[in-house]
């Protein structure tokens, strides 16, 4: 049965799944949202079980206690779960979908069904069919910048020659040593880019770009990945610690999607804690802006768009979780009203937030 589009008057019962940096921001916005009614919170850590959702969201208590039981979540009979854990578990997602609960997620595994393992895709689709439910994934990057923005910019084109997206992220103010020094590799000795690093970039952004390219009738035939690092010329003191001279203080990855032997889409990430670096590729990197994106669409109506975050440095850390959390929250009504199945950005109507 096909369900109708979102209605301003309807309210949706939601559960927030996981309350990390992004999840706790989504939880706060779900509490405040005029169309959403928070009915539950799932947490991973035992220390959070039983705590009030308002406390976990950084607002006043709301009388809803956190649980780590999926059975308890299903018993609440929510319309939707905002699924934002650090680790994707297909069993949990399928159990929710089979129970008739829609899922909106930030997990990249769910962003483009054509990029999923075939067995997993069919399993998710079967779960959706059983529960008459839908699952959708989005965020800031990938998501907003690699799907929503290009689709809008392409709406005035009749020819696309090349789409380039440059992402800049100044990570120096993040007090997250595990993420910066462990996951992102800052402060490490230089070395060749690992195959795992290159595959991670391809896996993270490739499916999102392919989704848009295929929707426009220009499917990408292959992706080519390049990587380079910038080494600190001096010791760099940041919120998370010290990055010593000669170690990695910036990284650049370039993912190029090829169509009929020519570049069609190019996504470049430049993540850094210092701009005073020696680059491994011998090129002078242009740190043309602080954190944000530079999008250029070359076609018969060429466009050049720069997106930055005009907030004070002391407010930056407070603002950034919303970049990833807010779009999934705004998507809840649309996913709840979508036809059953795995749905993507190109399957849904344009997401318009309800702000009052």
- pLDDT at residue 193 in the model: 64
Q: What is the DSSP letter of 44?
A: S
Checking if the pLDDT of 194 tops 60, the result is no
What average pLDDT score do residues 141-149 get? 96
Measure the N-to-C terminal CA separation of the chain; round to a whole number of Å. Answer: 30
What is the chain's mean pLDDT, rounded?
92
- pLDDT at residue 196 in the model: 62
Report which of residues 125 and 191 the model is more confident about.
125
- Sketch out the chain's domains with CATH numbers: 12-139+321-342 (3.40.50.720), 157-300 (no CATH)
What average pLDDT score do residues 282-292 get? 83
What average pLDDT score do residues 255-272 get? 96
- pLDDT at residue 113 in the model: 79
| Segments in 53-181 forming alpha helices (H) | 53-57, 70-75, 90-98, 118-131, 149-154, 177
- pLDDT at residue 200 in the model: 77
Q: What is the DSSP letter of 168?
A: E
Instruction: Report yes or no: 62 and 38 within 8 Å, Cβ to Cβ.
Output: yes
DSSP labels, 331-354 = HHHHHHTSPSEE--TTTSPPP---
pLDDT digits (tens, 9 = 90+) for 74-92: 999 999 999 999 899 999 9
Checking if the pLDDT of 227 tops 50, the result is yes
Helix axis angle for 118-131 and 90-98, nearest 10°, is 20
What average pLDDT score do residues 188-212 get? 82
Phi and psi dihedrals of 100, rounded to 5?
A: 85, 20
Which pLDDT band holds residue 238 (cuts at 50, 70, 90)?
very high
Checking if the pLDDT of 6 tops 80, the result is no
What average pLDDT score do residues 185-206 get? 80
| Cα–Cα distance, 90 to 94 (Å, whole number) | 6
- pLDDT at residue 3 in the model: 44
Q: Which of 6-10, 65-69, 123-127, 332-336 is least confident?
A: 6-10
132: alpha, beta or left, given left = phi > 0 and alpha = psi -120 to 50? left
- pLDDT at residue 7 in the model: 54
Checking if the pLDDT of 4 tops 60, the result is no
Checking if the pLDDT of 289 tops 70, the result is no
What average pLDDT score do residues 320-338 get? 97
Which pLDDT band holds residue 179 (cuts at 50, 70, 90)?
confident
Checking if the pLDDT of 180 tops 70, the result is yes
What average pLDDT score do residues 49-55 get? 98
Checking if the pLDDT of 1 tops 50, the result is no
Which pLDDT band holds residue 187 (cuts at 50, 70, 90)?
very high
Report which of residues 217 and 204 the model is more confident about.
217
Instruction: Report yes or no: 124 and 342 within 8 Å, Cβ to Cβ.
Output: yes
Residues 6+ apart with CB under 8 A from 153: 163, 295, 297, 303, 305
Mapped onto helix, strand or coil, the DSSP state of residue 156 is: coil
């Amino acid at each position: 049965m096909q369900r109708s589009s979102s209605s301003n008057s309807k309210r949706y019962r939601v559960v927030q799944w996981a309350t990390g940096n992004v999840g706790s921001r989504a939880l706060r916005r779900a509490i405040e949202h005029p169309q959403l009614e928070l009915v539950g919170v799932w947490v991973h850590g035992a220390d959070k079980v039983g705590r009030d959702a308002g406390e976990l969201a950084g607002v006043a208590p709301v009388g809803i206690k956190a649980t780590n039981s999926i059975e308890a979540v299903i018993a609440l009979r929510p319309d939707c779960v905002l699924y934002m854990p650090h680790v994707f578990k297909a069993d949990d997602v399928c159990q929710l979908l089979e129970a008739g609960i829609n899922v909106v997620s930030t997990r990249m595994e769910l962003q483009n069904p054509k990029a999923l393992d075939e067995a997993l895709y069919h399993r998710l689709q079967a779960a959706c069919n059983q529960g008459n439910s839908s699952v959708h994934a989005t965020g800031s990057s990938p998501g907003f910048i690699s799907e929503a923005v290009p689709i809008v910019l392409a709406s005035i084109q009749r020819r696309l020659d090349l789409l380039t997206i440059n992402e800049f992220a100044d990570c120096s103010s993040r007090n997250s040593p595990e993420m910066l020094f462990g996951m992102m590799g800052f402060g490490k000795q230089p070395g060749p880019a690992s195959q795992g690093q290159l595959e991670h970039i391809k896996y993270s952004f490739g499916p999102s770009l392919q989704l848009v390219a295929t929707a426009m009738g220009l499917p990408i035939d292959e992706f080519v990945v390049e990587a380079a690092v910038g080494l600190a010329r001096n010791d760099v003191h940041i919120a998370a610690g010290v990055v010593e001279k000669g170690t990695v203080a910036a990284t650049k990855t370039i993912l190029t999607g090829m169509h009929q032997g020519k570049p069609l889409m190019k996504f470049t990430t430049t993540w850094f804690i210092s701009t005073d670096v020696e680059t491994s590729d011998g090129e002078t990197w242009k740190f043309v802006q602080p954190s944000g994106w530079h999008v250029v669409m070359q076609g018969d109506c060429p466009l050049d768009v720069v997106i930055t975050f005009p907030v004070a440095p002391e407010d930056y850390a407070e603002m950034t979780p919303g970049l990833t959390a807010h779009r999934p929250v705004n998507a809840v009504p649309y996913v709840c009203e979508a036809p059953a199945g795995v749905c993507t950005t190109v399957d849904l109507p344009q997401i318009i937030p309800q702000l009052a």
